[in-house]
Structure formats: C-alpha cells, structure tokens
Amino acid sequence: MAARVFLEVRRKLQSALLILGEPKEGGMPMDISILQSSLQVKIPAGCTEISLPAGVRLVPSSCGGLQYVAEDGLHLRLQARAELSTKLISMFNQSSQAQECCTFYCQSCGEVIIKDRKLLRVLPLPSENWGALVGEWCCHPDPFADKPLHPRENDCFTGDSYLLVNLRRDSQPRVEPAQVEMYRLSSENRCELKPKANTKVICKRCKVMLGQTMSSEITKFYMTEIIIQPSERNFPIIPRSQFVQSVIAQCLVELSSARSTFRFTIQGHDGKAYILLWLLNTDSLVIGFLGNSKSNKKFPLLEDSLKTYSNSAWNAVKVLYQPCIKSRNERLASTWESDISVHSLTLPATTCLELLLILARNNAMLPRSLRYMNSFQVRNCSFISL
C-alpha cells in the first residue's frame, strides 16, 4: 500500500508545504525521511519514495510548523530551493514558424481544418475594449471606425483566447457552418428561423465547435479547440483535459502579467458566465501521491489526466473558482461582470463545462484542508509547455 503524500513547492517564495496523509487503517506507525532530493515514507505495508524534479531541493533542517489536521494528516512547512525555469511557450514561435507552412488541426479528433497555410505575420490583437479607449482619447471621430483590425491573406491575429484567420476562397477549411438559429418572438408568441450573425464553425468529423465566422473571409478559432503545427512534421497527441488546462493556464499567466488582473470570468460563446476564477499564484510545483482517489469511470475526459498526475510532478497555477451554472452565484457573477478590473475569457460553451468538470475533479484530489478558502474552492490548474 502506498502512503498518501502531497507536496507543493512555491518557486518564488522558496518554500514548501508537505502533507502526509493518514493510512486508511489509522494508527499505523510511520517513518518519515526528508532528504534534499527525495521523500521517503515507510509504513508496515511498504515504503513510498518520491524523487524531486531536477532543480528542486529541500532543506531538511528547516522543517517546522508541524501540526495534525483531522482527515488530512500531518502538515509541515520547510524551505525549498527551486529554480525558476518555467517558461511559457506561445502557440506560435514567430522567429522560426511564422515563415513555415502550418496546418490547423481539430484538437478533439485530429481532423485537418486548414492545410499548408503559410503565415507571414503572427500579431497580437489589442485588448477587447480598445475601441472604447480610442473614443476616450480622441477629440475627433474615431479614425479606426471604418478600418477594422482584420488579418490579411497570410496573417494570423491572436487574441486572449482565440485566433483570427483570413480564409481565402480557394482554401476553405473543412467545416460545417450552422446557418440558422431558433428565436422565440414574444410579441407574436411563435418561433421563427433567422440567420445568425456569427455563424458557428463545426468540425466535420467530430461535430465540435471550433469557432465562428466573423465575415465572409474572417474566421475566429478558439485556442482550446485548435492545434497548429508546422506541416510535414509529427507531433505528440495531448489528452484533451491536459490541453484545455494548458491553454487556460497560459492565458491566465499572460493576462495577469500583462494587465495586472487576477479575477476572470469564463463565459461561453452564448454570452453566459460559467465560472468565476481568482488567480492566487503561478509558481507552484505540485507533487501528488494521494493514493485515495477513486477511479473515475463516469468521466473518461479525465482518465488520461489522472494517469499523468499520479506519482508525478507538474507546474501549476492555483486558482479559486465558483461555478455559475444552474443559476448559482448569479449575484456574484453580475457584480464581477460590472467590475472593470475583472477580465472575461470567451470559450465554446461545451469547453466551459469541460473546464468546470476538470476544476471539480482536481479539487477533489487535493487534501481536504486545501480545497476551500472562504466560499471559494481551491484548485491547482496544471499547464504544459506547448
């Protein structure tokens, strides 16, 4: 039987929190050895040894703050020496890939969406409310009113959670646009079909929503639904749950650094708020071996994630979150939406639900004392360098 161990290392603070869970039998003797590069926990049923990643070293002589927490086990804090080697890699490496032919794939099924597109320029878009800021700064009519920021033929503009691509007529993606949507007219109490302003772009194979058409030429693709790789190159398949976490975590880190904002609303393409996020830190290294997580047969989306994180270490951002589905936290969501310091990220509605499921599942894997803070639920969101 494996011992239950949870270790969180804060790279910037050079500190670590170690939690040693009680064996299920209870009252069993434990022999704990804390070394610079590993942890050893011995119980009569066996021995658990966890090796720390390269660049992470504990300071055994600094152990302190020992306390017992019911249903968790022993908590103690100690110093840790960790290198700040975590670097976020953007979806595009402009220096090496911008001149290469790229292929757009559906992340869910691997279907080719755009084949062999040569991107000459990959440019970031300004903030979502840049038009309102121009109106505040200029004492004359908006000079950009008739000149929207649209990519040219070989351009790709990147937003917070989406990409804008100019699709030529001779290289349309293999997608199925949903042309109409049902509206209920209250005045006449009947239903009528009307064309939708922003048409959905649907993967032809797996029917997942990839983005929306903004005009006859411009298409918006959501970063959580698309993989962009140089053509004629093989790339590893990333499980869906890991990919979603990676993209969302990188968005949070980049936005918090660039705009000094730490509160976010995750809303669907339908305009509804699904999750409220409060970013706590971005420098956590989590090593978890809890040994008490039940197999998740009902949610295959998370199976690969659980296999990856068992007995492993991963970089993580820690967030507080509140769900807003089924009319929960409506008042709080309304308050956040009217607060200019809160930034919103728009994703497909199904991806918002996937993210909420991932948050809840990873929250359940944490020690009980780390799951809640005030009315929020604490969760470590892992990210992967792409």
Give the range among 149-158, 212-221, 230-239, 358-367 with minimum mean pLDDT. Answer: 230-239
221-238 pLDDT per residue, tens? 999 999 998 887 777 778
SS (H, E, C) the chain: CCCCEEEEEECCCCEEEEEECCCCCCCCCCEEEECCCEEEEEECCEEEEEECCCCEEECHHHCEEEEEECCCEEEEEEEEEECCCCCCCCCCCHHHHCCCEEEEEECCCCCEEEEEEECCEEEECCCCCHHHHHHHHCCCCCCCCCCCCCCCCCEEEECCCEEEEECCHHHCCCEEEEEEEEEEECCCCEEEEEEEEEEEEEECCCCCEEEEECCCCEEEEECCCEEEEECCCCCCCCCHHHHHHHHHHHHHHHHHHHHCCCEEEEEECCCCEEEEEEEEEEEEEEEEECCCCCCCCCCHHHHHHHHHHCCEEEEEEEEEEEECCCCCCHHHHHHHHCCCCEEEEEECHHHHHHHHHHHHHHHHHCCHHHCEECCEEEEEEECCCC
**Would you say residue 193 has pLDDT above 60?**
no
Question: Structure tokens of 118?
Answer: 């040569």
Alpha carbon 106 to its chain centroid, in Å, reads 17
Residue-level pLDDT at 296: 42
325-346 pLDDT per residue, tens? 988 899 999 999 999 899 999 9
Side chain identity at residue 159, one-letter code: G
Neighbour-count burial for 200-213, b at 16+ CB within 10 Å, e otherwise: bbbbeeeebbbbbb
Question: Structure tokens of 370?
Answer: 């780390």
Ramachandran category for residue 329: left, alpha or beta (phi over 0 → left; psi -120 to 50 → alpha): left
> Residue 188 contacts by C-beta under 8 Å, 6 or more apart in sequence?
none
**Would you say residue 324 has pLDDT above 90?**
yes
Tokens 């956590």 belong to which residue?
284
Alpha carbon 94 to its chain centroid, in Å, reads 22
**Would you say residue 381 has pLDDT above 90?**
no
Half-sphere exposure for 127 (CA within 13 Å, toward CB): 14
Neighbour-count burial for 3-19, b at 16+ CB within 10 Å, e otherwise: bbbbbbbbbeeebbbbb
Contact 319, 277 (CB under 8 A): yes
Tokens 């309102």 belong to which residue?
132
Give the range among 6-15, 38-47, 144-153 with minimum mean pLDDT. Answer: 144-153
Taken in order of first residue, the domains within the chain and their CATH numbers are 5-82 (2.60.40), 94-230 (2.170.150), 240-284+298-382 (no CATH)
Q: How far lies 239's CA from each of 220, 246, 247, in Å? A: 23, 11, 12
Average pLDDT, the chain: 79
Main-chain phi, psi angles of 262, to 5 degrees = -130, 0
pLDDT (average), residues 49-75: 87
Contact 205, 111 (CB under 8 A): yes
The Cα 175–Cα 253 span in angstroms is: 32
| Cross-strand partners of 121 | 155
Residue-level pLDDT at 149: 78
Side chain identity at residue 355, one-letter code: L
Main-chain phi, psi angles of 61, to 5 degrees = -70, -10
Residue-level pLDDT at 223: 95
Alpha carbon 165 to its chain centroid, in Å, reads 22
89-144 pLDDT per residue, tens? 455 543 344 557 889 999 999 899 998 888 888 888 887 666 666 666 777 776 66
Confidence label for 178 from pLDDT (cuts 50, 70 and 90) = very low
pLDDT (average), residues 346-352: 96
Residue-level pLDDT at 372: 86
273-322 pLDDT per residue, tens? 999 999 999 999 888 765 444 444 444 555 555 555 555 778 889 999 99
200-212 pLDDT per residue, tens? 899 999 999 999 9
Residue-level pLDDT at 305: 53
